[in-house]
A and B are shown apart, each in its own frame.
Chain A
Amino acid sequence: MEASAGETPRHEQTTSDWSRIAASEEFKDLIALKKTFIVPAFLVFFSYYLSLALLVGCAPKLASLRVIGTVNVAYIFALSQFAVGWIIAGLYLLASSKFDRLTKDILARIDTDRGGK
Chain B
Amino acid sequence: MSISLAVFLAFVASTLAITYWAAKRSRGASAYFAAGRRITAWQNGFAVAGDFMSAASFLGLIGLIALQGFDGILYSVGGFVAFVTILLVVAEPLRNTGKYTMGDVLAYRLRPRPVRALAALSTLTVAAFYMIAQMVGAGALVNLLLADSGITYNMAVVGVGILMMIYVVFGGMLATTWVQIIKAMLLSACTLVLTILVLAQFHFHLIDFFSAVSQIAYHQKGELIVRDFLQPGLRYRPPHGPLDLVSLGLIFAFGTAGLPHILVKFYTVPDAKTARHSVVWAMVLIGAFYVMTTVLGLGAAVILGPDSVLAHGGTNMAGPRLAQALAGDVFLAFVSAVAFATILAVVAGLMISASTSFAHDFWTNVVHHGVERKTDESVLVARIAALTVGVISILIAIALGPTANVLILATFGLAVAASANFPALALSIFWRRFTTAGAVAGMAAGLLATIALIVVGPTAMGIDLPSTTGAARHLIQAKPWFPLENVGIVSVPLGFLGAIVGSLISREPSAEARFDEVIVRANTGLGAETAAIH
Contacts and interface: CB of A to CB of B under 8 A. Distances in A.
Q: Give chain A's interface secondary structure class.
A: helix
Interface stretch (B10-18, B242-250, B346-354): B242-250
Given A57-B241, A103-B523, A85 B81 contact: yes
Contact of A56 (B89, B245, B273, B524): B245
A86 to B, nearest CB: 6
A12 B527 CA distance: 8
B246 A85 contact: no
A56 B533 contact: no
B372 A50 contact: no
A15 B99 contact: no
B29 A2 contact: yes
Contacts of A38: 88-89
B107 interface: yes
A5 B245 contact: no
Given A5-B360, A93-B276, A72 B107 contact: no
A116 interface: no
A106 B210 contact: no
B233 interface: yes
B80 interface: yes
Contacts, number: 196
Given A2-B30, A5-B372, A89-B280, A82 B287 contact: yes
B98 to A, nearest CB: 8
Contacts of B83: 85
A64 B529 CA distance: 51
Contacts of A23: 516
B525 interface: yes
B253 interface: yes
Nearest to B382: A5
Interface residues of A, number: 59
A57 B486 CA distance: 14
Contacts of B506: none
B231 A64 contact: yes
Contact of B519 (A2, A15, A22, A64): A22
Contact of A53 (B80, B249, B523, B526): B249
A11 B230 contact: no
A11 B365 CA distance: 19
Interface string B82-124: 0111011100000000011000100110001000000000000
Interface in A10-24: 11-13, 15, 18-19, 21-23
Interface in B55-94: 70-71, 73-74, 76-77, 80-81, 83-85, 87-89
Indicate the member of B33, B89, B104, B524 with the most A CB atoms within 10 Å. Answer: B524
B112 A7 contact: yes
Interface in B281-297: 283-284, 287, 290-291, 294
Contact of B70 (A19, A56, A58): A56
B84 A8 contact: no
Nearest to B518: A18
A115 B533 CA distance: 25
A92 B88 contact: yes
B232 interface: yes
B159 interface: no
B209 to A, nearest CB: 9
A25 interface: no
B207 interface: yes
Contacts of A12: 527
Nearest to A34: B523
A13 B527 contact: yes
Given A2-B30, A42-B89, A46-B253, A70 B291 contact: no
Contacts of B365: 6-7
A23 B370 CA distance: 31
Contacts of A53: 74, 242, 245-246, 248-249
Given A63-B232, A74-B232, A96 B276 contact: yes
Interface in A59-93: 60, 63-64, 68-72, 74-75, 78-79, 81-82, 85-86, 88-89, 92-93
Interface string B500-534: 00000000000001101101110111110100110
B364 interface: yes
B416 to A, nearest CB: 20
A46 to B, nearest CB: 6
9 contacts: A2-B29, A11-B527, A19-B516, A30-B524, A53-B249, A57-B236, A81-B81, A89-B87, A93-B277
Interface of B: 28-30, 33, 70-71, 73-74, 76-77, 80-81, 83-85, 87-89, 99-100, 104, 107-108, 112, 206-207, 210-211, 213-214, 228, 230-233, 236, 241-246, 248-249, 253, 273, 276-277, 279-280, 283-284, 287, 290-291, 294, 359-360, 364-365, 368, 370-372, 376-379, 513-514, 516-517, 519-521, 523-527, 529, 532-533
